[in-house]
Amino acid sequence: YRLCYVMQKAEKRLNAILRKSKNSGIPVENLKNLDVVQTIYHLKHPGNRKRYVFAVLTGFLFALAIAFNNSECLIELPQDSSKIFREPENCDICIGVDHVNKVQNISPADFEDHYVAKGRPVVITDGTKGWSAVNTFTFEFFKELYQKTNRDGFSKTECQFFPYKTEFKSLEEALNMSSARSRLELGTLPWYIGWSNCNDEAGKILRKHYDRPYFLPEKSENIALNWIFMGGPGFGAHMHVDNVQYPSWQAQLRGQKIWKLAPPPECFYKCHELQVTVAPGEIIVVDTNRWYHQTYIPPGDISITIGAEFD
């Protein structure tokens, strides 16, 4: 476990260095002298294995250097690769938890003490009270918003896009699907997508329609980067664990979404899987770095959610 923790820290530092060196022109062979590379080098046993690991790492750095010169995307990794470097979890987050509480009118102090501090998921049923987003955010709203605020093309400001099981390659392509398909008409292909908003102009318009959730502790900061997920009945996200910095809240604006939560593998024999249906107007709060999660959209209306991290 200690080895995994050290490897995780070394990996994060190496990635940060590589990002900063993109335009520096530093020869890749010079990177092997960095202490972070030496840390990974000394984590292995001496002898042939050590020389092998160092050779593989040097080759990896060389491949990354080539990728820097040819693409914004360094390397395509499996979506579940973050699990390899995940630090072992304390099972206190799930021991004795057999369902997800649904609460309302909760104070920031109680929210912090009963859920955030303990790493336990919760649904706040009055979380979006007073938000115009519940009635405003639709497929057509997002399409018009991004067409208006992306005058130089979507790719200029699009941060990250998740096509899930659709054929779409970008948010622009998804928002230009046929009207019949966007309305989930019979005979059209199902779809579910997600994206992060990196368009400042669009972000200002979006935030006119919702507030910082009232239950967040005063000392917490609501991360400005917002995530939006939208789609019709069927599976949403596959079972996975995130690799983000903080816990997240996700507001259900339209439709319903079923969340299936699973404890980390080391807690398999101590904890239970959980399932909860989040209805329109409710907000679910989950530390998605610690709880494995999967979503499903039940038959009915299109599901639209918006969320963000908070610390």
Tens of pLDDT along 76-89? 445 555 555 667 88
pLDDT per residue over 131-177, tens digit each? 999 999 999 999 999 999 876 555 444 578 999 999 999 999 999 99
Per-residue pLDDT band for 3 (boundaries 50, 70, 90) equals very low
pLDDT over 90 percentage in the chain: 55
State the number of CA atoms in the 13 A half-sphere of 101 facing the CB: 13
Query: DSSP states of 238-257 as a string?
Result: PSB----SS-EEEEEEES-E
Find the mean pLDDT for residues 101-106. Answer: 98
The predicted structure's pLDDT at residue 6: 47
pLDDT per residue over 182-200, tens digit each? 999 999 999 999 999 888 8
List the Cα angle 42/47/49 in 5-degree steps.
Answer: 75
Per-residue pLDDT band for 70 (boundaries 50, 70, 90) equals very low
**CA 116, CA 285: separation in Å to the nearest integer?**
9
The predicted structure's pLDDT at residue 13: 60
Closest CA to 80 of 220, 265, 303: 265
**CA 57, CA 62: separation in Å to the nearest integer?**
9
The predicted structure's pLDDT at residue 224: 61
Q: Are strands 122-124 and 101-103 parallel, antiparallel or unpaired?
A: parallel
